Homo-oligomer: A and B are copies of this chain.
Amino acid sequence: MKVFRFPENPLIAPDDVKPFHRGHEVIGVFNAGVAQLNGEVLLLLRVAERPVCTDPNVVKTSYIDFSSGKGKLKEMELQKNDKRYDFSDPRMIFYSDSMHRAAYVTSLSYFRLARSKDGRNFTIDDKPFMYPETEREAWGIEDPRITKIGASFYIQYSAVSPEGIGVGLASTTDFKTCRRLGLIFHPENKDVAIFPEKINGKYYALHRPVPKGIGRPEIWIAESDNLLYWGNHRHLLSLSEKGWDSCRIGGGAVPFKTDRGWLAIYHGADQNDCYSLGALLLDLNDPGRMLAKTEEPILKPEADYEMNGFFGQVVFTCGALTENGTVRIYYGASDQSIAGAEISLEEIMEKLCKCFI
C-alpha cells in the first residue's frame, strides 16, 4: 500500500495548542472529526488537558463536577504511593481492589476547532467549540466524528462519566453554535460513525459496544428514522483470529459512497495495543451486509510520531476526505498529535477485491 504522509506531519501537536484551563497543560490533540465548510477544512480536535504537576510523587487530574447543577472544573491530587489506586495505564486511574473499577481519567478532553485552506496548515481557535455540559460528560468528551446530512453537521462523540462511556449526538450548521441531541447509544459504546444519507429510507450507524460478561469489542450496525433513536442492532464484523485486528476493532472515519459499495475505514488493535487502520466495503443498499475487508492494514504506525508519544504505536482516525480518487485520512498519532496521509482509492479497492467474503 502506497501511503503519502504529509511532510508537515504531525499537522498539530500539543505545543501548538494553548491550554484553555488556567494551570493546565495540553498533553494531547488527536482523534479529530473532519468537515468542509466555505472552502475550508475544519478539524474538530479532541484536546486533552491536565493540571501541570512538577512533583514526581503526585498525579494531578481534573473533571467537571455537576453536583451543584452547573458544571465546575475540579482538580484532583493523588499520591503515587496511595495503594488504593493503580496508576499503570497512562489513560486511566483504576482502583487497585479486585473490582479494578475506573477511578479517574488522567486528562479531561473537550473539542476545539482548527481551520485550514490547504488541509495541511491549521489555525486553532482559542476557545472550546464543545465542552462537557452534562453529568454524562463529567469526565470529558472524546473522539468526535462529523456526518454532513443536508445543511447540518452531526457530531457523534464519546460522552464519558463515572457511569460509563456512551455516545452523544450534537448538531451544527455553522460551527459557531451547536445543539446537544442526547445520548444515542448507552454505555459501553464508542466509535460511532453515522452514514451521510438515508439508505432505503433509514439512517445507519456503525457502533462498537464493549460488553462485559459475554462478547468482545466488535463492530455492530444500527438503523434509525430520525438520528435520535436507534435500533435493529446487527453484528457486523468479528475480531480476526490473530494479527492486527484481533483484540479490538471499531468504526473510524464516516463511511463514504463508492460505485462498488460504502467504504468504511476502521481501526483495529492487536495484542500489543498497536492500533492500525483497515477498510470495509459494505453493500450500497444494506450496509449491514459486508462485501469485503482488507486483510492487512492500509495504514499502520511506522513514523516516529506514530510509534512514540503519549500512547505509542497508534494511528486512529475519526474522519477522512475523498477527492479525485484520493482518500485523505486525518488521524490521531500516538494519542498525542494529528497527522494526515493520502492513499489512492483505487489501491484500497484493489486490496478489498482480493479478499471478498
Interface class of chain A by DSSP: strand
State whether A232 touches B188 (Cβ < 8 A). no
Q: A185-B233, A229-B229 are in contact. Are A212 and B212 (CB under 8 A)?
A: yes
Q: How far is the CA of A92 from the CA of B214 in the complex (A)?
A: 10
State whether B186 touches A185 (Cβ < 8 A). yes
Which of the segments A56-64, A159-167, A310-318, A346-354 contacts the partner chain?
Answer: A159-167
| Residues of chain B contacted by A187 (CB below 8 angstroms) | 209, 211, 214-215
State whether B225 touches A212 (Cβ < 8 A). no
Q: How far is the CA of A135 from the CA of B215 in the complex (A)?
A: 13
Q: How far is the CA of A174 from the CA of B184 in the complex (A)?
A: 33
Q: How far is the CA of A135 from the CA of B209 in the complex (A)?
A: 17
Query: What is the distance, in angstroms, from A161's C-beta to the closest C-beta of chain B?
Result: 8
Closest to A208 in B: B186
Interface centre among A139, A162, A210 (most CB of B within 10 A): A210
State whether A213 touches B102 (Cβ < 8 A). yes
List A148-171 residues whose CB lies under 8 Å from chain B: 160-166
Query: What is the distance, in angstroms, from A26's C-beta to the closest C-beta of chain B?
Result: 23
State whether A162 touches B214 (Cβ < 8 A). yes
Q: How far is the CA of A216 from the CA of B225 in the complex (A)?
A: 30
| Residues of chain B contacted by A161 (CB below 8 angstroms) | 214
Q: Indicate with 1 or 0, residue by residue over A82-125, a CB within 8 angstroms of chain B CB atoms.
A: 00000000001000000001100000000000000000000000
Q: How far is the CA of A66 from the CA of B286 in the complex (A)?
A: 21
Closest to A103 in B: B214
State whether B184 touches A235 (Cβ < 8 A). no
**Complex partner residue of A224 from B185, B209, B229, B232, CB under 8 angstroms:** B229
Which size bracket describes the interface of A in this complex?
35 or more
**Complex partner residue of A207 from B162, B165, B186, B225, CB under 8 angstroms:** B186
Q: How far is the CA of A209 from the CA of B136 in the complex (A)?
A: 15
Q: How far is the CA of A160 from the CA of B220 in the complex (A)?
A: 15
| Residues of chain B contacted by A135 (CB below 8 angstroms) | 235
| Residues of chain B contacted by A49 (CB below 8 angstroms) | none
Interface centre among A135, A213, A223 (most CB of B within 10 A): A213
| Residues of chain B contacted by A224 (CB below 8 angstroms) | 229, 231
The 9 closest A-B pairs by CB, nearest first: A164-B215, A188-B211, A229-B229, A229-B231, A182-B232, A187-B211, A164-B211, A183-B233, A186-B233
- A-side interface residues toward B, CB under 8 Å? 92, 101-102, 135-136, 139, 160-166, 182-189, 207, 209-216, 218, 220, 222-226, 228-235, 238
A-B contact pairs, 24 of them (CB 8 A): A101-B214, A101-B216, A136-B235, A162-B214, A163-B216, A165-B211, A165-B213, A165-B214, A165-B215, A183-B231, A183-B233, A185-B233, A186-B189, A186-B222, A186-B233, A187-B209, A188-B188, A210-B211, A210-B212, A223-B229, A224-B231, A225-B226, A225-B229, A226-B229
